[in-house]
Structure formats: C-alpha cells, structure tokens
A and B are shown apart, each in its own frame.
Chain A
Amino acid sequence: MLRRFEVYALRPDSPVDDVRALEMACRRCGRFIPEVLDCAVGWNLSDAPVQLVWEHAYQSPEAYRRYMVHPYHAVVMDRYLLPDSPQRIVIDGPLGAGLYGYACDTPSYRMRGGTRRLVLLRIDTKASGADVARLRDELERAPADAPGMVVSVMAANTMGAAWFDGVTPVMGPPRWTHVWEQGFATRDALDSYRQGASTMAGVERAGWDRGTGGIVTRSAELFYELSGD
C-alpha cells in the first residue's frame, strides 16, 4: 500500500468559498476516484504554518497511477493547487514540498475518527540502517507505554520524491526523510501523551537528543481532528 499526505499552506486572502471547495474536493476524492482509500481531511492545530491536511492511501502503485491520470485530479483538485492556475489558493509550503508518504504492507494507520498526529523527521543521512531500524522499532512500540496512542507507524518518506508514480524518485531526497504517523482516540489522549511519562514523550520533550542516538536532526508536527467523507 501507499500512504500519502498532502499538506497545504493557504494564501491568507483566499476566498472562503474556494477554501471550502478545496476541502470538499479532498474529502470527497474517493467518491470519484475509487482507487483513493481512507480519504480524510483535517485542519492543522499545531504551530506549523500549514492549515489543511489531506490524508489518504492507495492499494498499490498501479492504483496511485490511476489517480494521477484521473480527470478529477486534474480538473478539480489541481485547480486550487498548481502554481500557474488562476484559481490557486495555496502558497509554497514553509515545511518544504507539502507531500509526504510511505509504503506499507497493511493499513496499520487506519482509524475511523479521532486525532491524527504526523511528526515529520529529518534523520541524519549518515545514520546507519541499523540505527534507523532501531528508532523505527522504538517509535512503533510507543503505544506500549502510551495507552492513548492507538496508531504508531514510522517509515521513510518515499512519496516526497516518488510523487509521480509512487515508486521512482523524480527529484532529490526530501527535506523530511521520515514520517511518524500517530493516532489518538481524542485530543485529550494526545495531550495526555505529550505531557505523560512515556519513553517517547520524554524523548520528544528533550528535542530527540535522548535515546535516539542523535540521528534525528530536526522535527515538525501536525495534528488535526479527522474528518472523513
């Protein structure tokens, strides 16, 4: 499967109707492109200077490629997004290209509602594969001592560079090398995790210096209430 996030920084003077139209276009995408799975949107509640998040998934790279050539993508979605479109309402993202995602075997990210948190990670390119694998294991075991966390998936941000066909990089390595996708049943559960005594909450509060071998050089977070179609 391919898990994918598009994150939009909106032009401050965007017409409200156009913003709502983009939000609806994202939320309803699966109605028109059946290959688009687990479609949901959310309004970012973190301090990161982006507003709208569209999360979704594809069963396979072939399914993703059908999305890429579907008229709904070009006609409806891109109307608000492409740099030369007269109806563009987004600006170039301060978090780098606003497209992140990863390959996974099963939809372990899936949840029907609640609060999604996406932690963007930049991992030192000199970090060994073993160190990255160890970090991934630690992050994915986080729910064991953070009961409110119901989803925890960490993976390389392959979609950031392979956005054309889901597999082949068409540009250099992304600014955010990995993503750590989390899910919480409620916003209170997320807050409890952040303030709690779990190992990973402590690592995050310490700026990732503790317990990760120093391989995480930078991070940013988004979180939002899930709103599906």
Chain B
Amino acid sequence: MHLVDTVEVEPEHVDRYLELVSTLGMAVMTGAGASFVSCATTPGDVGERQHIQVVWAFDDFVHWNEIRKNMVLDPRYHEYGGTAASLRVGGTRRFFVPVTLSPSL
C-alpha cells in the first residue's frame, strides 16, 4: 500500500522542498522501513503555487506501525517534519490500498 503526501508550496520553495525529501526525508523514511516510490510536481511558471506529491510504500498497517515507531524514535524525523512544515502552505495525507479491477465486459 502507499502513503501519498501532497503538499502545496510557493514556487520559490519547490527546489528546497525536493532537496529536503531527497536527503533527510529519504534517509528517515527508508531507514524506518518504508520504500520510496515516486516524487512529482505540478508544472511551474504558471502563476500558481505548485503541488509536490511524494509516495512511499509499505506492506500494510502492521508494517506502517513499525515504520511510525522507528520514525518517531529517530531525532532526524522531527527535524524533517519541522523543516517540511516551514516550507509548505498546505497539503494532504492519504493512504491508498490496491484494488483488483475487473476488465469491463
């Protein structure tokens, strides 16, 4: 299953946010047991704030419980969270579970 964080940032903060995810975020999340899936942004230079979507994967909520424990006990996690909060103006967090889609008849 996937954890999908979508944050809204001012265009001038996009690079810093991506750097944060690729360094501290990557170290904390993968160190805690999550797998990195993807990162993408909405296009810039359109006169709007941009959205950054970061996706992490893990097995299930039992696995997530272990990841959460490992994150909370890692001092870097709190630095990561604080810095991320200072760079974003909003966002959402959602968990997604896979489904089996039947082909249409």
Contact = CB atoms under 8 A, between A and B. Distances in A.
Interface in A47-74: 68-71, 74
A164 B64 CA distance: 12
Q: Determine the main DSSP class of A at the interface with B.
A: loop
A86 B93 contact: yes
Contacts, number: 56
Given A70-B61, A78-B68, A83 B91 contact: no
B62 interface: yes
Q: Determine the main DSSP class of B at the interface with A.
A: helix
Given A69-B62, A71-B61, A84 B71 contact: yes
A171 B74 CA distance: 11
Contact of A74 (B64, B73, B77): B64
A83 B82 contact: yes
B95 A71 contact: yes
B61 A87 contact: no
Contacts of B35: none
A74 B7 contact: no
Contacts of A71: 61, 95
B80 interface: yes
Contacts of B78: 83, 92
A58 B68 CA distance: 21
B104 interface: no
A194 interface: no
Interface string A65-98: 0001111001100110011111110001000000
A86 B68 contact: no
B73 A86 contact: no
Contacts of A197: none
Interface string B55-68: 00000011011001
Nearest to B90: A86
A86 B91 contact: yes
Contacts of B64: 69, 74
B80 A85 contact: no
A170 interface: yes
Contacts of B61: 69-71, 74
Nearest to A78: B68
A145 to B, nearest CB: 42
B18 interface: no
Given A68-B65, A70-B61, A170-B73, A83 B88 contact: no
B7 A171 contact: no
Contacts of B77: 83-84
Given A74-B65, A86-B93, 11 more contacts: A69-B61, A71-B61, A74-B61, A84-B28, A84-B84, A85-B5, A85-B93, A86-B88, A86-B91, A170-B73, A171-B73
20 contacts: A69-B62, A69-B65, A71-B61, A74-B61, A74-B68, A74-B95, A82-B81, A83-B77, A83-B80, A83-B81, A83-B85, A84-B84, A85-B93, A86-B90, A86-B91, A86-B92, A86-B93, A87-B91, A87-B93, A92-B78
Interface of A: 68-71, 74-75, 78-79, 82-88, 92, 164, 170-171
